[in-house]
C-alpha cells in the first residue's frame, strides 16, 4: 500500500503472501499473481531488492555482535582461569605458613 499498489492486496492476501513469501517472489511469480503491469512489477522488485539488502545488512550486524560477545565471553573466561590459578598458587603458601606456626 505504501507503494500505491493497493490493487494487489486482495490477491496477495488470497494467496497467503506474507513477508517471507514476498521476499522469494520474482517477475514471473508476480505476473502469476495478477500483476500484469511491468512498471508495477519493477517497483515491487526494486523494493524487494532494497529489503533483501537491508535484511542482509542486519544479519551481518547480528553476526558481528555475536562474534564480539563470544570473544568477550572467552576473554572473561580466560581471566577467571588466570585468577583461579593465582589463587591456587597462593593458597598452599598461606596454608604452609599457618602450619609452621
- What pTM value is reported for the model? 0.62
| pLDDT at site 18 | 87
pLDDT tens digits along 21-53: 888 999 999 999 889 999 999 999 999 999 999
pLDDT tens digits along 8-28: 888 888 999 888 888 899 999
Name the nearest CA neighbour of 24 among 58, 54, 48, 50. 48
Asked whether residue 92 is domain-assigned, the answer is: no
Q: Into how many domains does the chain fold? A: 1
Cell reading at 74? 572467552
Asked whether residue 46 is domain-assigned, the answer is: yes
pLDDT tens digits along 56-101: 999 999 999 999 999 999 999 999 888 888 887 776 554 554 555 4
| pLDDT at site 101 | 47
Asked whether residue 60 is domain-assigned, the answer is: yes
Calculate the alpha carbon distances from 82 to 20, 76, 86, 94 in Å. Answer: 47, 10, 6, 18
Asked whether residue 13 is domain-assigned, the answer is: yes
Amino acid at each position: 500500500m505504501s507503494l500505491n499498489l493497493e490493487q494487489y492486496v486482495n490477491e496477495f492476501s488470497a494467496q497467503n503472501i506474507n513477508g517471507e513469501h514476498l521476499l522469494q517472489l520474482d517477475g514471473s511469480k508476480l505476473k502469476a499473481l495478477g500483476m500484469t503491469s511491468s512498471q508495477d512489477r519493477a517497483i515491487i522488485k526494486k523494493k524487494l531488492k532494497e529489503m533483501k539488502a537491508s535484511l542482509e545488512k542486519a544479519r551481518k550486524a547480528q553476526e558481528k555482535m555475536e562474534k564480539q560477545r563470544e570473544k568477550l565471553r572467552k576473554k572473561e573466561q580466560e581471566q577467571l582461569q588466570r585468577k583461579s590459578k593465582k589463587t591456587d598458587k597462593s593458597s598452599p603458601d598461606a596454608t604452609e605458613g599457618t602450619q609452621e606456626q
